[in-house]
Chains A and B, each alone.
Chain A
Amino acid sequence: MSEGQTILFAIVVMLAAVGGAAVLTWFERRLLGVWQDRYGPNRLGPGGILQVAADMIKLLTKHDWVPPFADKWVFIFAPTAIVVAMLLGFAVVPFGPGLHILDINIGLLFFLAMTSLAVYSVLLGGLASNNKYALLGGLRSAAQMVSYEVFMGLSLMGVVMLTGSFSMVDIVEAQRDGWYAISQFLGLFVFIIAAIAESHRLPFDLPEAEHELTAGFHTEYSGMKFAMFMLGEYLGLILVSCMITTLFFGGWLGPFGIEILPPIVWFSLKTFLIICFFVLLRAAIPRPRYDQLMSLGWKVMLPLTLINLVATGAIALWLHGGA
């Protein structure tokens, strides 16, 4: 693509991501409704889709309030940071052959860096609110991210080892013979858990934890700043789903080399199914206690990742004879 086309495509991706996140707020509630034997928002427009617009109008017209005891500039900066970081993460996602904004040789590292930056947003939001609940939420978020970040990166190293590249396009191309979901099953399992913790969604939404921390790090946020946090969270969900599709489910490639659908449709379909899976997790699994979350991270997930890493390395070495 020429430079102009790339910029145009970047704008399209950004609009699609934000629009998708907005629709997802409604879709998730409807899907949760299906699984909890109720309807969810179904009044406004066909199937309730206009609920998105209603929510948006409500949030836009709310008083944009900064508490007098808060650290004003950090308080305002925090919700923007998460949206910016998450949107930047979309830059390295390959949506189809040639359909990407950036194909850099450190694509995967860029994604990890951007999701890690998003942590700062939660942390600063909690800190700047100057509120006990928010501070506890921020603390939890920091501890959770530090422990889950470790094996989130490590779980992807198996994929990188098999491909021999950090570039997302190369990783997709390397899956023509078989998806990494099969050969890197442990990696996929660990990455999904780490990704939920990273985007702090249920069941790992301990930084928010309504039942004990009122709303955790965004206790003091309202109106559009609150909406930015939510937008960031849903963008994170979409981004992580895109990443799982790309890294483990063959990106734009159809299963078993079937190519009846255009690549972008395959990609969207897979991403959609993974989003549904995340919503299912939210519907089904209760939130763990905080110490359980920590011990799961360090005692189970990290050893599992290391075993996966060593085993993948050994097998790759054995098959390719020390390349």
Chain B
Amino acid sequence: MTLLKDLFESLISQLRTMWRILLHTFTKAETVQYPEEKPYLAPRYRGRIVLTKDPDGDERCVACNLCAAACPPDCIALQQGTREDGRWYPEFFRINFSRCIMCGLCEEACPTNAIQLIPDFEMCEYDRQNMVYEKEHLMIDGPGKYHDYNFYRVAGMEIEGKEKGAAQNEAPPIDPRSLLP
């Protein structure tokens, strides 16, 4: 008897499944027809990596290597150099996008907001070597997400045209040999 009951119940269940699937004839397809129809990408979507410039037009990157240290697949390589005016800069800056996993940890690690991820993921190449982006490919002519930030204006580091203590909210330097308060 239980066999018959089970059989009847499973038969009804299968028929109901078929009916429900049949009703899907009248529902719209969920597919996004990709190349013609672009999907919506959130403004903070993590895609291609760019290097930004500060509002004055100088490159923000100080080549501190924190992004390369944070990078889980080790796809960032760079070399630090010092310019004549005392600024640090990367002599080369290379990201291998065939390894990059778009995790955004480099952006988190960056102390100067230089490296940023933008909502663009269309980077296909026929040749794998073309996925390696050099500094001139990464650099953009703008400040990215942070419009007013300039590292050298807020940091205490001395560069040409900005003495110690001249940065924003920076107290004048203390003379350690003076006894006066």
Contact = CB atoms under 8 A, between A and B. Distances in A.
Interface stretch (B23-31, B67-75, B165-173): B23-31
Contacts of A114: none
Given A299-B3, A300-B7, A37 B29 contact: yes
Contact of A281 (B7, B18, B29): B18
Contacts of B82: none
B18 A285 contact: yes
A108 to B, nearest CB: 27
B21 interface: yes
B3 A35 contact: no
B27 A37 contact: yes
Interface residues of A, number: 14
A37, A281, A284, A285 interface centre (most CB from chain B within 10 Å)? A284
A35 B25 CA distance: 6
Contacts of B28: 37
B24 A36 contact: yes
A280 interface: yes
Nearest to A304: B7
A182 interface: no
A211 interface: no
B29 A285 contact: no
A34 interface: yes
A34 B25 contact: yes
A283 B21 contact: yes
A14 B115 CA distance: 65
A33 interface: yes
A228 B30 CA distance: 34
A284 B21 CA distance: 6
Contacts of B30: 37-38
Nearest to B15: A284
B7 A285 contact: no
Nearest to A281: B18
Contacts of A36: 24
Nearest to A34: B25
A283 B28 CA distance: 16
Given A37-B24, A38-B29, A280-B22, A285 B3 contact: no
B87 to A, nearest CB: 52
B80 interface: no
Given A280-B18, A280-B21, A285-B18, A39 B29 contact: yes
A300 to B, nearest CB: 6
B79 interface: no
A39 B29 CA distance: 6
Contacts of B31: 38-39
18 contacts: A34-B25, A35-B24, A37-B28, A37-B29, A38-B30, A39-B29, A39-B31, A280-B18, A280-B21, A280-B22, A284-B14, A284-B17, A284-B18, A284-B20, A284-B21, A284-B22, A285-B14, A299-B3
Given A38-B31, A280-B18, 6 more contacts: A35-B24, A37-B24, A38-B30, A283-B21, A284-B18, A285-B14
Interface of B: 3, 7, 14, 17-18, 20-22, 24-25, 27-31, 33
